[in-house]
Amino acid sequence: MKVSVDPDLCYGSAECVHRVPSVFAFEDGYGAVRPGREDSEDDPLIREAAERCPSQAITLTLDE
Ligand code: SF4
């Protein structure tokens, strides 16, 4: 599963960072995917982070 954060949509609530700190980091006031974690295992916590992102800035792309 590919994980990405759209920096144009993110407004830095940091909820994703609190929810899944192993995948998301807070950089320069915005949420970002940690380097090397763009390809992550399908994880309910990551799905929850995407669903609950208040600006819908997190995109998950399932592997074929
Ligand atoms: S939860 Fe969404 S808006 Fe908040 S920091 Fe993460 S990506 Fe940005």
Q: Look-up: residue for tokens 């759209």? A: 6
Tell me the per-residue pLDDT of 46-59, one tens digit each, with 9 for 90 and over.
Answer: 999 999 999 999 99
For residue 64, pLDDT beyond 90: no
- 63: exposed, middle or buried (Cβ count in 10 Å: 0-12, 13-18, 19+): exposed
Q: How far is the centre of ligand 1, averaged over its atoms, from the C-alpha of 20 (Å)?
A: 11
Which residue's CA is minimally distant from atom 4 of ligand 1? 13
pLDDT for 30 equals 97
10: number of Cβ within 10 Å: 20
Is the pLDDT at 63 greater than 90? The verdict is: no
Check which CATH number belongs to the domain holding 26 and give it: 3.30.70.20
Range of the domain at 42: 2-61
What letter does residue 39 receive in the DSSP assignment?
B
12 lines ligand 1 (CB under 6 A): yes
**Per-residue confidence band for 25, with pLDDT thresholds at 50, 70 and 90:** very high
What is the residue type of 2? K
* Number of domains present in the structure of the chain: 1
Tokens for 13, please give them.
């609530």
- 57: closest CA among 33, 28, 22? 33
